[in-house]
Chains A and B, each alone.
Chain A
Amino acid sequence: MSILQVRDLHTQFFTQDGVVRAVDGVSFDLDQGETLAIVGESGCGKSVTAMSILRLIQAETGRIVSGSIKFEGRELTTLTEEQMRGIRGHDISMIFQEPMTSLNPVLTIGTQIAENVVRHLGVSWQEGLNRAQEMLELVKISDAKRRLDEYPHQLSGGMRQRVMIAMALACRPKLLIADEPTTALDVTIQAQILDLMLELKEKIDAAIVMITHDLGVVAETAQRVVVMYAGRKVEEATVGELFAHPMHPYTRGLMRAIPRLDIDAEAEGRRARLQEIPGMVPVLTQPIPGCAFAPRCPFATEKCTAERPPLVENRPGHIAACWHTDRVLEQAA
């Protein structure tokens, strides 16, 4: 059953340089208990999508200009701030890349988790603290009882991210949005946190939106993937399908551009060159009438620059926005 439905979402910022079309008509669904990855390069609109769902776009700078976001059938875009506050941190929680931005430096860990629990679940302070300790144990912070009285700065980066996860899960959310939750962490700590998230997901049965720029993280955590480019969804499929049969030229380019640690690229002795994607991502202040990838795409034709390609289901459950998928798929064979 679908728990989240995003339809034709447009979120824009109004800056001195013009209107930034940060999210430019994005749609996707998320099923209960499912993990959906949103992947793309920096600036493609991943975080703004997440912030839009939580209605955290600062009104002074930007807003959701059109589209619909339904959570359990309830339209979020028209809720009041008061109503949203009842949902954030309760039914929907978020984990950020930099835990320090969302942890309060002057409050103890225990106080911060308990406050959220008391506010949303209406339990006593003591029960809130008990839940906080339980959650710290759940995220495998050793000596949880003592840690309740510590401040964020006393913890390492990996531990802070665990605290963030504990806090996000304390009210048993139905939806967890994780925005680059391991990007700031070292590889061995990233492995700990991803492992923990996968384990907790089983226990808590929350749906997860995993935002990342790392295709490795996608492959290891998600069931389904949405690939974004320049504010738009360009491809969507299950993880196995996407990696086996990438269809959009951008997705393919991305996959070939990654230096792989699991592949010996130069069996012949000479160092292999990586496949480059020429050029760079477009600026989002100019309206892009056609395909946003056209200036960098080896398959581009005039039609591509003139008309925006629709999302088409080319294989079962696999959609891509490209005029020339036939030619793209041919080339692979």
Chain B
Amino acid sequence: MSDDKPSLEVRNLVKHFPIHGGLLQRQTGTVRAVDGVTFSIRRGETLGVVGESGCGKSTVGKTVLKLLEPTAGEILLDGVDVTDFSPGQMWSHRRQIQTVFQDPYSSMNPRMRAGDIVGEPLENFGLARGKAKDEQVASLFQRVGLRPENMRKFTHEFSGGQRQRLGIAKALAVNPEVIVADEPVSALDVSVQAQVLNLLIDLQEEYKLAYLFISHDLGVMRHISHRIAVMYLGRVVELTDKRTLFTRPLHPYTEALLSAAPVPDPARKRARRIILPGDVPSPAKPPSGCHFHTRCPYAIAECKTVDPKLLEVAPGHQVACIRRPVGTDFAPLTPTQ
């Protein structure tokens, strides 16, 4: 493991789902859930993926984990191209990349004891068994803030926050490099959410973990991420460090998204709330050209035909918008509608 190679790298990742319909269940269309996504994550770094429901966040996560076969593109784990690995080949690399879900309950066997759930991967990967395993599980429990006595309990006896801690302990058990966390705190109340976010941050610093952190919550994003990728209809429209993203967003969608989120401060006068018209179009029928042109306040005629590429328009700042070309200044755009 070296520091120059990214822990996880994804190039032009595409995942399409066929839509079947009619009597014969013939393929009648394609959901372009992920439509050419590129990013990389270094050790100890969190890349946040944010966007509205259906924009493809979870599909990116599942494809990177190879729970879904990519339609095209490349996935590199610690420099090794695992895109075409068979499940058998993937097995040895599986340890390196683990996952934490939104609802750990649904992914845990209700008839297994908590200690066995966390210890299972240790056994599966032949890392520890018997007493050694129990000791390791106990220390994992402690590390995530659960009392080792709780190892004998069943998952339904835990609260939402505790179950999420269990999920984190299970992911940590095999000492991974990368953790894909898909909305890991979305089901939790604010007071418990803070506990879990702090735990994730501590663990990252301790083990130099790389996080692919998926969330629709912009507050959580700003807190946990180092860099953030904003997705819209299967594509990354902007990717940069979080401070730049929150203070000087360049993509019109990012700008609207940030302005739309309610802020818990009645004294703060918002500069200008951008209310986007209409709904997010279906990824089965994305608009031509720039996917955002049907809702974009700054759209010009070319936006309907030109497919904007994600370009590094300023150092470390990638944007996919024809009105934000390379070398753009950060001046506001003039609305066209």
In contact, B194 and A257 (Cβ under 8 angstroms):
yes
Per-residue A-contact encoding for B107-125, CB less than 8 Å = 1, 0 else? 0000000000000000000
* Residue among A42, A220, A275, A281 facing the most chain B CB atoms (10 A cut-off): A220
Would you call B267 an interface residue if the criterion is a C-beta within 8 Å of the partner chain's C-beta atoms? Answer: yes
- Residue from A186, A257, A280 within 8 A of B53 (CB atoms): A186
Convert A52-80 into 0s and 1s, putting 1 for each residue whose CB lies closer than 8 angstroms to a CB of B.
00000000000000000000000000000
Nearest-neighbor residue (CB-CB) of B220 within chain A: A259
User: Which residues of the partner chain B approach A272 to less than 8 Å between Cβ atoms?
Assistant: 223
In the assembled complex, how far is the CB of residue B232 from the closest CB belonging to chain A, in whole angstroms?
10
Neighbour of B243 across the interface among A264, A276, A277, CB < 8 A: A264
Known: A258-B219, A259-B197, A274-B197. A213 touches B260 (CB 8 A): no
Q: Does A154 contact B (CB under 8 A)?
A: no
Query: Interface on chain B toward A: helix, strand, loop, or mixed SS?
Result: helix
Residues of B within 8 A of A239 (CB): 266
Q: How far is the CA of A152 from the CA of B220 in the complex (A)?
A: 33
- What's the nearest-Cβ distance from chain A to residue B279, in Å? 5
Tell me whether A260 and B264 are in contact in the complex, defined as CB-CB below 8 angstroms, given that A41-B190, A276-B198 are known contacts.
yes
The reply on A83 being an interface residue by CB < 8 A is: no
Tell me the residues in window 215-265 of chain A with beta carbons closer than 8 Å to chain B beta carbons. Answer: 215-220, 239-240, 243-244, 253-255, 257-262, 264-265
Q: Which residues of A contact B276 (CB under 8 A)?
A: 188, 191-192
Check if A191 sits within 8 Å of B260, measured CB to CB: yes
Q: List 15 A-B contacts (CB under 8 A).
A: A187-B257, A190-B262, A192-B275, A214-B264, A216-B262, A219-B265, A254-B190, A255-B264, A257-B193, A259-B220, A261-B221, A262-B263, A273-B198, A276-B198, A277-B195
Q: Chain A: residues with CB nearer than 8 A to chain B?
A: 41-42, 156, 158-159, 186-192, 194-195, 213-220, 239-240, 243-244, 253-255, 257-262, 264-265, 271-278, 280-281, 296
Give 11 new A-B contacts, CB below 8 A, not counting A216-B264, A260-B219, A275-B194.
A187-B216, A216-B262, A217-B262, A219-B263, A240-B266, A258-B219, A259-B194, A264-B222, A264-B243, A274-B197, A274-B223
